[in-house]
Chains A and B, each alone.
Chain A
Amino acid sequence: MTAVGADQRQQLAYVATQAADARLNVEIETEGMTLNIGPQHPATHGTLRLVARLDGEQVVEAEPIMGYMHRGYEKLTEVRTYPQVTTLINRIDWLGSFANEVPFILAAEKLMEVEAPPRAQWIRTALFELSRIANITLFLGDMAVQLGALTPVFMAFRDREFVLNQIEAVTGGRFHPNFDRIGGLKDDLPKGWINDTKQAMEKIRDFCDEFEELVLGNEIFQARSRGIGIVPAAVGLSYGLSGANIRASGVDWDLRRDGHEALAYNHLDWRVWTHPEGDSFARYWVRLQETREATHMVEQLLDGLPSGPIMAKVPRIIKVPAGEAYAATENPLGKMGYYIVSKGDLVPFRVKIRSASFSNISITPWLLKGVYVPDIITILASLYFILGDIDR
């Protein structure tokens, strides 16, 4: 707890200096400016609105305002049967859509007390990691374009295509697979898919190598991201940051390894990447390493794929017994959890969605104090949120 105390002292000292600045501004009669960044702004990934109070180009305070894209998914699930819900929740984090389905299905399986057969779990995990790659490759290009480099985002789109093709080959959907079922998966893998996927993983590794030089190795990228938006581990934890955002602050915590869900991660040989610095550069670096790690994980999953059925015995019409269950997984954006309350109907009584971006974005008022306007963009890009994941 001492660390928290120190950070709070730091923050209080910071607020005090800001107050002194404000007094000075009154003395020399400069006037602040309120800048509305968004909801229509290229750097907000959609419709996040940021009200920033500026002193010149320096941010005095900034507040994110969300809800412009609220679609009421938690409420909508209450009038959908369990198999219908996955169609909706695909659209929460639309870049890694398969990953959204998994924790919901896992929670429902807990309630029904069924467990998917091993083959289904392994394929599930492989698709999970593929959606992670599909999600994070875009981040790797996008943050570069937020910092003004035009080219990397096109390379990201180009190489992300290989992964999307593989997801499409299995599920039939590039963005909204809707493939996970309670008790297993909809279909088995198509013929020749394993080899194609391994080739795609090679390409993604090349992509990672390329980006390590092109973006991470670029002096200007480093000048713009190193030391910008530092999140101390204790502060990050107190704001509920998860995923690569908290691992970039040196917290060695990954639900794939530390969680209790029945996915196939225990059978794999992999490591959790962390970075001690906690700045924007560290967040980019961690995500890049995780993408490369994910390609190795997919290969291991495909090599060790057990044979057997892909569907457990479940009734044709799914009625979930009354009760409550929670499942959380390490999604591309961070920890994603579903808390399901069932009254034994065809539909859930209540579903609470814990999405990663909502918590990740909550640190912005703390983080944006005193930075320059260009650094707002760097910090927002490096925190990496998806609007659908904030607003649900």
Chain B
Amino acid sequence: MSPAAVVSGLLAVEVPYWASSTIKLGVVALIVPTAALVLGYVFLLKMMSFMQSRLGPMEAGPYGTLQLLADGLKFIQKEDIFPEKADRTVFALAPLVVLISTFLIYVVIPTGPDAVVAQLDVGIFYALAVSSLSVVGILMAGWASANKYALMGGLRAAGQLIAYELPLVLAVMGVVIQAGTLDLQKIVTAQATGEIFGWGGIGNPFILTQFAGFFIFLVAVQAELTQPPFDMPVAESEIVGGYQVEYTGFRFLFFFMGEFGTAFAFAALAVVLFLGGWALPWGDIEHWAFNIVGPVIMLVKVLAVAALIFWFRFTYPRLREDQLQRLAWKVLIPLSLANIVVTGIFKVVL
């Protein structure tokens, strides 16, 4: 969602490089907290409460809408505590590493024909690569906290990375084969202009052909986000929050924003890869108006996918670490490999 592109599209004014860069930076910097607020309020506070027969926050703002802002304000006021034995530099940097990996994903997510911060040829490759950077931050946090629970959480996160990263990448491979490109923008175009056996009524959203990929992607995303059923790195009832256990105040807030910002980013990636992204299958998708409508379409689809992601989160118990490994290596990876083979055969035959 780059207003620079929107502005130049609307007014046909050439925006200087420094100005467009500044605006892009501002947008990405704003979108992570906003995404965290939206998802946190809609799903964590409200949807979860309604599923659990309670109301959730009702006092701060109309219907409790400002609760997360109040929480954030509270976090900022808190003392910045370092444990005595902690490795101070690493401990301080770890939440930032997690947050930066979240910021970096947003750089390549397209929300309109021109509304994208950077259109990379290797977009999806880049997005998956930077998203796994967050594990480095989690490991840093786990190690530097000088706490046994935190250490176990960090190590579990690292072990988990091996389990879900492969299915995640392999699930995306099917889409890449079908679209013939790694560029996220072109994947959107391919879905909008595609045809199902010569019928282009609804384009060709890849969820129809890549349903196995979509399923594997969602499962792997749950692990990436350390959410139930794969929340072993945080596991409140076992290792009391894992790597987050020693964090307070705004550093904890960074972890929180990172968590929900990444959830939003992965929902957006799922939308781009499987649900047609910002585009609708009707009309001229090169039209400049899509720069304004696109983000809205995108948001609706993202919230739908996020609802699914959080529904899993509030419903399922937690697996054990070894059970996740077994699930990943014995079920998800063979399934995604089979999916790639089948996709490849169809690609060649059709």
Our verdict on whether A and B bind, yes or no, reads yes
Number of interface residues of A (CB under 8 A): 28
Q: Give the complex CA separation of A91 and B221 in angstroms.
A: 46
Question: Given A35-B148, A57-B152, A150-B52: A374 and B318 within 8 A (CB)?
Answer: yes
Tell me the total A-B contact number using a CB cutoff of 8 A: 76
Interface pair B240/A154, CB less than 8 Å apart = no
Interface string of A361-372 (1 = CB under 8 A from B): 000000000001
Q: Are B238 and A150 in contact (CB under 8 A)?
A: no
User: Quick check: which of B229-237, B248-256, B273-281 contacts chain A, the rest being far away?
Assistant: B229-237
If A158-B53, A224-B319 touch, whether A42 touches B236 (CB-CB below 8 Å) is yes
B51 CB to nearest A CB, Å: 6
Known: A373-B238, A374-B235. A150 touches B314 (CB 8 A): yes
The smallest beta-carbon distance between B46 and chain A, in angstroms, is 14
The answer to whether A308 has its CB under 8 Å from any CB of chain B is no
Known: A35-B148, A223-B319, A374-B232. A148 touches B237 (CB 8 A): yes
Please, which residue of chain A has its CB at the minimum distance from the CB of B151? A33
Q: Report how far A57 CA is from B315 CA in the complex, Å.
A: 26
Task: Tell me if B320 counts as interface (CB < 8 A to partner A).
Answer: yes
Residues of chain A with a CB closer than 8 A to B323's CB: 223-224
Q: How far is the CA of A221 from the CA of B317 in the complex (A)?
A: 6
Task: Choose one: A35, A43, A147; the contact of B318 (CB below 8 Å).
Answer: A147
Q: Are B317 and A224 in contact (CB under 8 A)?
A: yes
**Pair A372/B320 contact, Cβ less than 8 Å:** yes
Is A87 among interface residues, defined by CB-CB distance under 8 A? no
Contact with A along B295-320 (1 / 0, CB 8 A): 00000000000000000001111111
- For A220, give its contact among B239, B319, B321 (CB under 8 Å): B319
Q: In this assembly, does A149 line the interface, its C-beta being within 8 Å of a C-beta of chain B?
A: yes
- Please name all residues of chain A whose beta carbon is closer than 8 Å to the beta carbon of B231 when the two chains form the complex: 148
The answer, among A42, A149, A372, for a CB contact under 8 Å with B228, is A149
Tell whether, in the assembled complex, residue A149 and residue B315 are in contact, meaning their CB atoms are under 8 Å apart: yes
A224 and B235 contact, Cβ closer than 8 Å, known pairs A42-B240, A150-B52, A151-B52 = no
In the bound complex, residues from chain A placing their C-beta under 8 Å from that of B286 are none
> In the complex, what's the smallest C-beta–C-beta distance from B218 to chain A, in angstroms?
16
Assess A148 versus B228: contact at CB under 8 Å? Given A154-B53, A154-B54.
yes
B116 interfacial by beta-carbon distance below 8 Å: no
Chain A residues with Cβ under 8 A from B321's Cβ?
Answer: 57, 372, 374
- State the Cβ distance, A39 to closest chain B Cβ, in Å: 13
**Does the CB pair A154–B52 fall under 8 Å?**
yes
CA distance A372 to B325 in the complex (A): 15
A residues 13-64 with Cβ under 8 Å of B?
33, 35, 41-43, 57
B322 touches A372 (CB 8 A): yes
Chain B residues closer than 8 Å to A221, beta-carbon distance = 317
A149 nearest in chain B by CB position: B317
B239→A373 contact, CB < 8 A: yes
Cβ contact within 8 Å between B317 and A220 = yes
Number of B interface residues, CB 8 Å? Answer: 28
Write out the residue numbers on chain A whose beta carbons fall within 8 Å of the beta carbon of B51.
Answer: 151
Q: Is the CB of A149 within 8 A of B236?
A: no
CA distance A218 to B152 in the complex (A): 27
> A155 contacts which chain B residues (CB < 8 A)?
52-53
Give the residues in chain A near B117, CB-CB below 8 Å: none
Instruction: Contact check, A220 vs B318: say whether CB atoms are below 8 A apart.
Output: yes
CA distance A218 to B319 in the complex (A): 11
Interface assignment of A377: CB less than 8 Å from any CB of chain B: yes
Q: State whether A373 and B237 are in contact (beta carbons under 8 Å apart), knowing that A150-B48, A220-B316 are contacts in the complex.
A: no
**Cα-based distance from A33 to B151 in the complex (angstroms):** 11
How distant is B50 from chain A, measured CB to nearest CB, in Å?
11
Identify which of A146, A149, A374 contacts B320 (C-beta below 8 A).
Answer: A374
Q: How far is the CB of A144 from chain B (nearest CB, A)?
A: 6
A145 engages B237 (CB within 8 Å) = yes
Q: Are B316 and A148 in contact (CB under 8 A)?
A: yes
**Chain A residues near B318 (CB, 8 Å)?**
147-149, 220, 224, 374
Cβ contacts B158-190/A at 8 Å (1 or 0 each): 000000000000000000000000000000000
Does A375 have its Cβ within 8 Å of any Cβ on chain B? yes
Most interface-central of A144, A146, A373, A374 (chain B CB within 10 A): A374
Residue in B231, B232, B239 with the greatest tally of chain A CB atoms within 10 Å: B239
* Alpha-carbon gap, A377 to B322, bound state (A): 16
- The complex places the Cα of A42 from the Cα of B238 at a distance, in Å, of 8
Known contacts A150-B48, A151-B52, A154-B54; is-contact A42 B317 (Cβ 8 Å): no
The distance in angstroms between the C-alpha atoms of A146 and B317, with both chains bound, is 9
Contact of A149 among B149, B152, B239, B316 (CB under 8 A): B316
The proximity string for B residues 189-208 relative to A, scoring 1 for CB distances below 8 Å and 0 otherwise, is: 00000000000000000000
Also in contact, A375 and B148, with CB within 8 A (given A151-B51, A154-B54): no
Contact A43 B238, beta carbon cutoff 8 Å = yes
Instruction: Give the contacting residue for B237; candidates A43, A223, A375; CB below 8 A.
Output: A43
* Residues of chain A within 8 A of B152, CB atoms compared: 57, 373
Chain A residues lying within 8 Å of B320, measured Cβ to Cβ, are 223-224, 372, 374-375
CA of A145 to CA of B317, assembled, Å: 7
* Inter-chain contacts of B148 with A (CB < 8 A): 33, 35
Contacts A57-B152, A155-B53, A372-B320: A377 and B48 contacting too (C-beta < 8 A)? no
Interface string of A178-191 (1 = CB under 8 A from B): 00000000000000
In angstroms, how far is the closest chain A Cβ from the Cβ of B12? 52
> When chains A and B are docked, how far (Å) is the Cα of A149 from the Cα of B238?
13
Interface residues of A in 193-241 (CB under 8 A from B): 218, 220-221, 223-224
Known contacts A224-B318, A375-B320; 15 further A-B pairs (Cβ under 8 A): A35-B149, A43-B238, A148-B229, A148-B316, A148-B318, A149-B315, A149-B318, A155-B53, A223-B319, A224-B317, A373-B239, A374-B232, A374-B238, A374-B318, A377-B238
Sample 8 A-B pairs with CB under 8 A, ordered by A number. Answer: A42-B237, A42-B240, A147-B318, A150-B314, A151-B314, A151-B315, A374-B320, A375-B320
